[in-house]
Amino acid sequence: MKKLAEVLQDWEAVIGLEVHTELTTLKTKMFCNCRLSHDDEPNANVCPVCLGLPGALPVPNKKAIESIVMAGLATNCQIMRHSMFYRKHYFYPDMAKNFQTTQGPVAFCMHGNLDLEVHGVGAAERPDFADTTATGEKINREADGSYIVPIRILRIHMEEDAAKMVHVGGAEGRITAATESLIDYNRCGTPLIELVTEPDLRTPEEARLFMETLQQTFRTLGISDCSLEKGSMRCDGNISLRRRGSAKLGTKTEMKNINSFKSLHDALEYEICRQAEVLEEGGVIYQETRHWEPAHKRTVVMRVKETADDYRLFPDPDLAPFDLSDDFINACAQRVPELPRQKRNRYVADYALKLTDAAQIAADPTTAKLFESCVKLVGVQVIPTVANVMVNLLPGYDTFAPQQIASLAELLNSDAISFAQAREVLDAINGTDEDPVRVVDARGMRQTTDIVALQTVVDEVLARCTDQVQQYKEGNTKVIGFLVGQCMKASKGTGNPKLFNQLLVQSLS
Ligand code: ADP
Ligand code: MG
Ligand code: ZN
C-alpha cells in the first residue's frame, strides 16, 4: 500500500465522526431512578423501566438534559426549544424493550462548530496546496505550517446506552463460536449523548485533535470522565475518498473499535490507504462497517450497512415532546465554565506562560484547579516556574498540596536549588505534607547564589581548563556543559549550575 502522504497528494480524504459520551458524572440512569454504576455486581442496578417490562413508564432525567444543553452551548450549537424522543427498533438482547429511546430529526442541539488548532508535525498531514475549509474558505498557514480550521457539528442528541454483553468460550470474546452469552443490564439506560460532525475533517490528525478537543471540553464541563480506554467516550470514524478537485462525495466506510487517540489516527490512516489502493485498481468501496484491529494495524469488515428504514423510527408515545424554556437554557449557560482554550489564552496573557505549558495545564480541569490554587500563593514572577514544575516535574508522582508546589517553585525561581535537585526534593516529600524548604535546609541542598564566590570558582576553572576555553573561542559552544560540570565539582555541588553557566558565558565573551 502507498503511504498516507503520497495518497493525499491525489486523493482528498473526507472524514466525519460520531462520538458517543456517557454522562458518567450523573447519579441515575436516563429514564429511571436506577443507580449509575458499571462497577457493581452484574444486574444489581435494574428496574422495570430499564428491563423493558410491560407497562413501565420512562421519566427523563433532568440533569442529563442540563448536561447535553451545556455540551451544545460549549460547541456553539443552536439549542432547540422543541424536540422529541423517538423509538429506534432493533432486536438484540442488550436492549430488553427491543428499541432504543433516542432523538429524531430534531435533536436538543443542532448546527454547532469547533475551531480546530492544528500545530506541529500533525499540520503537515494536510498537503499545503489543500488550503480550503469544507465550506470553501481559505485556510491561513503560519510560517511553521500550523493552521486553524472550523469543523461543523451537525447535531448532539440524547439517547440511552444498551446493556453490556460478555461472550464466553469464543475466540477473543466475540459472539462467533461463543458457547454462552452473559448480559449485564447495569449499563442499560445510561444517559448517552451522541455528537455527529459534518464530513469536514481532512486528515487523521485533524480527527484525532477534534476528539481531543471534545474530551477536554466535556471534562471541563464536568459531564463525563470521557475515557476512551474504559469506553465512556467512543468514536466511530466515517471515511471516504474523492479525487482532488472533485466535489462529489465518495462511498464511506465506518470504523469501529477505536479506544485510544492513536487508534483513531491509525485506523483512519490505514483505511485511507486501503481505499486508495482499491480505487486505483479500479475496484469499488462498499458502504460497510469495519472493525479496527490494533494488533494487526488493519480494518476488517464487520457488516454491511443497514438502512435507516430497518429501525422503524417513530416518536415515543410514552414521552411527551420537550419544550425547553429560556430560563432553563440560561441557567445551563450560567453553569458553563471557562473552557480550555479561553483558559490557556488567559494564562499566556496574564501570567506569561509558555503556550505549550498553558495548553497542557488548561486541558484538564483538575490540573487547572491545582495550578490556580498555586498561583494564589506565589508572586507573579514565580508563576511560569509553577507551570514549568507542573508540566515537567509532577507527572509520575501522586498529588502534592498547592503549598508544596508553590514553595518548590519559589526555591527554583530564586536559584536556591537546581531542577535536578527539585526531583530529589519531590522524591523526599512524595506522599507526605512536608514543606520542600525544610527538606532543602535539612539536607544542606541550598546552593550558593553569592556571585562573588561563584565567580572565584569560575576563574579558577577557566585558568585550569585552557583546552576547553580554546575550543569555546573557536566556536564550539557545547564545551560550556563541561565547564559547568567542572564548576559544580569545584564547588562541591553548592553552586547553582544556571548561574555558573551565565558567569562562564560572560567571562568568555
Ligand atoms: P449513516 O446514516 O450511515 O450513519 P450519516 O449521514 O448519519 O450516515 O453520517 C454519519 C457520519 O458520517 C457523519 O459524521 C457524517 O459527517 C459522515 N459522513 C457522511 N457521508 C460521508 C462521506 N461520504 N464520507 C465521509 N464521511 C461521511
Ligand atoms: Mg449515523
Ligand atoms: Zn432502571
Residues 226 and 147 reside in one and the same domain: yes
Give yes or no: residues 188 and 232 share one domain.
Answer: yes
Within 10 Å of residue 205's Cβ, how many Cβ atoms? 24
Say whether both 259 and 361 belong to one domain: no
197 within ligand 1 shell (Cβ under 6 A): yes
Average pLDDT over residues 440-444: 86
User: CB–CB of 254/285 below 8 Å?
Assistant: no
The per-residue pLDDT for 311 is 82
Mutate to test the pocket of ligand 1, among 19, 114, 238, 242 (most ligand atoms within 8 A of CB): 238
pLDDT of 307: 64
- Is the pLDDT at 260 greater than 80, yes or no? yes
Here the CATH number for the domain that contains residue 494 is: 1.10.10.410
Q: 3-state DSSP call for residue 173? A: helix
Specify whether 314 is located in the same domain as 385. no
pLDDT score at 455: 92
Closest ligand to Cα 308: 1
252 Cβ below 6 A of ligand 1: yes
**Structural domains counted in the chain:** 3
Q: Cα separation of 203 and 263, whole Å?
A: 14
Does pLDDT of 305 surpass 70?
A: no
Same domain, 233 and 92: yes
Where does a domain end: 423, 442, 461? Answer: 442
Map residue 71 onto helix, strand or coil: helix
Compute φ and ψ for 443, nearest 5 degrees: -95, 0
Ligand 2 centroid to 308 CA: how many Å?
9
**Do 173 and 296 share a domain, yes or no?**
yes
Residues 267-284 pLDDT 10s:
999 999 999 999 999 999
How is residue 2 annotated by DSSP? -
Distance from C-alpha of 426 to C-alpha of 417, rounded to nearest angstrom: 12
- Looking at the fold, whether 423 and 469 belong to one and the same domain comes out as no
105 lines ligand 1 (CB under 6 A): no
| Confidence tier at 309 by pLDDT (50, 70, 90) | low
Are 195 and 71 in contact by the 8 Å Cβ rule? The answer is: yes
Find the ligand nearest to 29 CA.
Answer: 3
Q: What is the pLDDT of residues 213-235, one digit of tens each?
A: 999 999 999 999 999 999 999 99
- Looking at 308, 332, 356, the residue that finishes a domain is 332
Domain final residue, candidates 407, 425, 442: 442
219/274 same-domain check: yes
Does residue 275's CB lie within 6 angstroms of at least one atom of ligand 1? no
> Which ligand 1 atom is at minimum distance from the Cα of 17?
14
DSSP line for 195-232: EEE-S-B-SHHHHHHHHHHHHHHHHHHTS----TTTTS
Task: Say whether pLDDT at 494 is over 90.
Answer: no
Query: Given phi > 0 = left and psi -120 to 50 = alpha, else beta, which region is 312?
Result: left
Q: pLDDT (tens digit, 9 = 90+) per residue, 121-179?
A: 899 999 989 999 999 999 999 999 999 999 999 999 999 999 999 888 866 667 777 88
- What cell does 6 get? 503520497
Evaluate the CA torsion angle 385, 391, 392, 397 in order and state its sign: positive
Of 43-57, 181-195, 297-311, 486-500, where does mean pLDDT reach its minimum?
A: 297-311
Mean pLDDT of the chain: 93
Work out the percent of the chain whose per-residue pLDDT is above 90: 81
Residue type, 66: E
The whole-angstrom separation of Cα 186 and Cα 161 is: 10
Per-residue pLDDT at 507 exceeds 90 = yes
* 3-class SS of residue 16: strand
416 and 313 co-located in one domain: no
Give the range of the structural domain holding residue 133, as residue numbers without chain letter.
4-332
Are residues 186 and 43 in contact, defined by beta-carbon separation less than 8 angstroms?
Answer: yes
Closest ligand 1 atom, residue 239 Cα? 25
Ion ligand 3: residues, CB < 5 A: 32, 34, 47, 49-50
Answer yes or no: do 345 and 494 share one domain. Answer: no
Indicate if 423 and 482 belong to the same structural domain: no
Q: Are 216 and 26 in contact (CB under 8 A)?
A: no
- C-alpha cell, 89: 427498533
The alpha carbon of residue 33 and the mean position of all alpha carbons in its chain are separated, in whole angstroms, by 31
pLDDT digits (tens, 9 = 90+) for 328-374: 999 999 999 999 999 999 999 999 999 999 999 999 999 999 999 99
Distance 194 CA to ligand 2 centre (A): 10
- Does 277 share its domain with 398? no
